[in-house]
Amino acid sequence: MGSPLPTHRLIHEKLGVLLGLPVFASDAISSVAYATDEIIIGLAVAGAAGLAYSVPVALAIVVIMILVSSSYQQVIKAYPEGGGAYTVAKENLGRTAGLVAGAALLVDYILTVAVSVASGIDNLVSAVPALANHHLLLSVGGILFLTWLNLRGVRESARVVALPIYIFIASVTGLILLGGYRVLTHQFQPLPLPQLQVQHQLSAYTVLHAFASACVALTGIEAVSNGVQAFREPHVRNARITMALLALILATFFFGIVSLTRAYQVVPVLGTETSFSKLGHLIYGGGVLYYVLQLSTLIILLLAANTSFQDFPRVARLLARDGFLPRQLANLGDRLVFANGIGLLGAIAIALVLAFRGSTHALIPLYAIGVFLSFTLSQIGMVRRWVKLQPPGWWISVIFNAAGAFGTAVVLCVVTASKFMGGAWMVCIAVPSLVRLFSRIRKHYDAVAKELTLEGFLPPRQGMTTVLIVPVASLHRGTVMALTYAKGMGVPVRAVHVVVDEDQFRSLQERWKQWEPDLPLIGLPSPYRSLTAPIAEYASSLRLQFDTVTVLIPQFIVPQAWEELLHNQSAIMLNFALRHLHGVNILHFRYQIHT
């Protein structure tokens, strides 16, 4: 993963706009490669008449983009510490709303990794059909690569993703300009429309279904607001500039690609070739520019998941800091990244890809609910904030956020209704389940804190009685050293041996008299050959005579880790058996073996 980085290097790991844009915008910008397909597939069920609505649907989505990006500009300004929807909802709508937003974000980031990588491999297979049989293996490999890359550090991953993402931006810009010029000057030949089987009559439901599917184009638009602290000073200004550039590029690319797809009458072949690939082939031809577009599309779709690898650990860190996730997720790793969160994200995403066999179309229905739920809660929270604080010009902010909240709430309802039976029900179960898990974790931490607090605590009385138990499996240097240590502590010592073999015990007693004549060796019968139960029972019986019981476990340590496998791990088993006994403490005496 690279050499460890000292804490004072954290300031040098911060990002400017030039590197911040590819890191945090890759998810949103890359969605133009598959969101177009979702519009066409959704409308094609109504035949050619349905395809006529692709541009109006795209325009409606662009309006939602503008509202959401404007709202998150205000979130960045109001919450420079980052956290996005989770922080906004928690502080303005209450803890439960914050947990729902946090759960929705985490689910969305997991799905972003799975969908982005699977879609990237789809585009690779479109260009190189011979790889079709290796789709699943390539998807898992892509996630493993991104996990490794992000564990190496923020700036290192940013340098890797920057060049291919800027190449993609240049390629798509050229595609839209060249294709648009040909359309405006009538220098193009649209494809003949394939024979589309009319499965449903054109209706409002058909259009809304396509709209809901294509709203995946908005995923990742909130990423900058979650990672404000990743930018160098002035971090708020740099984050807002990045957010503005992201919204501009995303809206232009999405509407431009959909418009060209409609003009050229491009229809994707599901599982074979995407509409984005077809459009690139028509406009750029089959030469170098087409393959640059396809290669950069593959890379940006793979790297789109990189946004989630930046934001998932940050949101998980905030939840962990507040006691709703394990504390380990709040720890910075050797490379100044939240390594535990990165590893967790990679593992869950791989499991999801395997479960859905790497199918982008199967994963898409699960995708948009989480992001629009977090959008809606965030913008409602911002409305509440402006009404409560009423800063100068607050009513303008209320109008923007209220419009955004209404728009995203409508999209959320449409997405949930239209995609529920297609798999979205899983997300509807996952988010409440995560909220319940968060609450259980917080309940545990609160209970532990209550038990550990010094408030109202009376220190134990002086002169508490204790006894020291030393388990003896055999007599060797480590045992003698442990017994010497125990006797030097100035408390009563009990040496015990679990008797599994009577002959072995008698032999041990003979040697014991030579080395420890002043300390009796107590035999603990074990008719069922258990090594831990007799010691646990003996320790519990001594609690009737003493205030506390301490078990000193002798343990020899071998030089190589693999050599541990050659020895019984009785010390670990004994530690496990005794850990919940009230009033029983455990000490380990380690004897180092150097050969």
Q: What is the largest CA-CA distance in the chain?
A: 106
For residues 294-312, average pLDDT: 81
What is the rounded average pLDDT for all residues in the chain?
85
296 or 154, greater pLDDT: 296
Same domain membership, residue 153 and residue 52: yes
Can you give the pLDDT at residue 332? 73
Same domain membership, residue 290 and residue 252: yes
Can you give the pLDDT at residue 272? 66
Can you give the pLDDT at residue 182? 92
Between CA 480 and CA 469 the distance in angstroms is 14
* Within-domain flag for 1: no
Can you give the pLDDT at residue 4? 67
Can you give the pLDDT at residue 43? 87
Can you give the pLDDT at residue 541? 92
Same domain membership, residue 547 and residue 435: no
pLDDT, tens only, 211-259: 877 887 887 788 888 778 888 888 899 999 999 999 999 999 999 999 9
Q: Is the pLDDT of residue 31 over 90?
A: no
CB 499, CB 525: distance < 8 Å: yes
Q: What percent of the chain has pLDDT over 90?
A: 28
* Within-domain flag for 454: no
Q: What is the pTM of this model?
A: 0.77
| Confidence class for position 522, pLDDT limits 50, 70, 90 | very high
The closest alpha carbon to 227, from 240, 216, 218, belongs to 240
* Within-domain flag for 459: no
CA-to-CA dists, residue 405 to 24, 70, 309, 409, 528, angstroms: 23, 12, 27, 6, 66
* Within-domain flag for 460: no
The CATH number for 317's domain is 1.20.1740.10
The CATH number for 503's domain is 3.40.50.620
Same domain membership, residue 198 and residue 59: yes
The structure tokens listed for 128 are 């190189």
* Within-domain flag for 457: no
pLDDT, tens only, 90-101: 999 999 999 999
Note the Cα 253 to chain centre separation in Å. Answer: 28
Can you give the pLDDT at residue 348? 93
Same domain membership, residue 122 and residue 222: yes
Same domain membership, residue 197 and residue 93: yes
Same domain membership, residue 483 and residue 431: no
Can you give the pLDDT at residue 259? 92
* Within-domain flag for 95: yes
Same domain membership, residue 540 and residue 426: no
Can you give the pLDDT at residue 36? 83
Q: Is the pLDDT of residue 322 over 80?
A: yes
Q: Is the pLDDT of residue 8 over 60?
A: no
Same domain membership, residue 411 and residue 502: no
Q: Using alpha carbons only, how large is the chain's radius of gyration in Å?
A: 31
Can you give the pLDDT at residue 68? 85
| Confidence class for position 367, pLDDT limits 50, 70, 90 | low
The closest alpha carbon to 526, from 587, 584, 579, 473, belongs to 473
The structure tokens listed for 111 are 């799905």
Residues whose CB falls within 8 Å of the CB of residue 115, separated by 6 or more in sequence, listed in order = 34, 216, 360, 363, 364, 367
Helix (H) or strand (E) holding 46: none
Same domain membership, residue 355 and residue 207: yes
- Per the structure, the count of domains in the chain is 2
186: alpha, beta or left? (left if phi > 0; alpha if psi -120 to 50): left
Can you give the pLDDT at residue 10? 58
Between CA 9 and CA 506 the distance in angstroms is 63
| Confidence class for position 472, pLDDT limits 50, 70, 90 | very high
| Confidence class for position 201, pLDDT limits 50, 70, 90 | confident
| Confidence class for position 179, pLDDT limits 50, 70, 90 | very high
Query: Which of 446, 478, 499 marks a domain boundary?
Result: 446
Can you give the pLDDT at residue 177? 95
336 or 380, greater pLDDT: 380
Cis-peptide, bond into residue 234, ω within 30° of zero: yes
* Within-domain flag for 458: no
Same domain membership, residue 586 and residue 534: yes
* Within-domain flag for 452: no
Phi/psi of residue 468, each to 5°? -115, 120
Highest average pLDDT, of 59-63, 200-204, 227-231, comes from 59-63
Same domain membership, residue 437 and residue 304: yes
- Running DSSP on this structure, what letter comes out for residue 561? G
Query: Which of 446, 479, 504 marks a domain boundary?
Result: 446
364 or 189, greater pLDDT: 189
Residue range(s) defining the domain that contains residue 494: 466-592
Can you give the pLDDT at residue 5? 63
Q: Is the pLDDT of residue 79 over 90?
A: no
Q: What is the side-by-side strand order in the sheet with 466-471?
A: 521-525, 493-499, 466-471, 548-557, 584-592
528 or 567, greater pLDDT: 528
Can you give the pLDDT at residue 12? 53
Helix (H) or strand (E) holding 521: strand 521-525
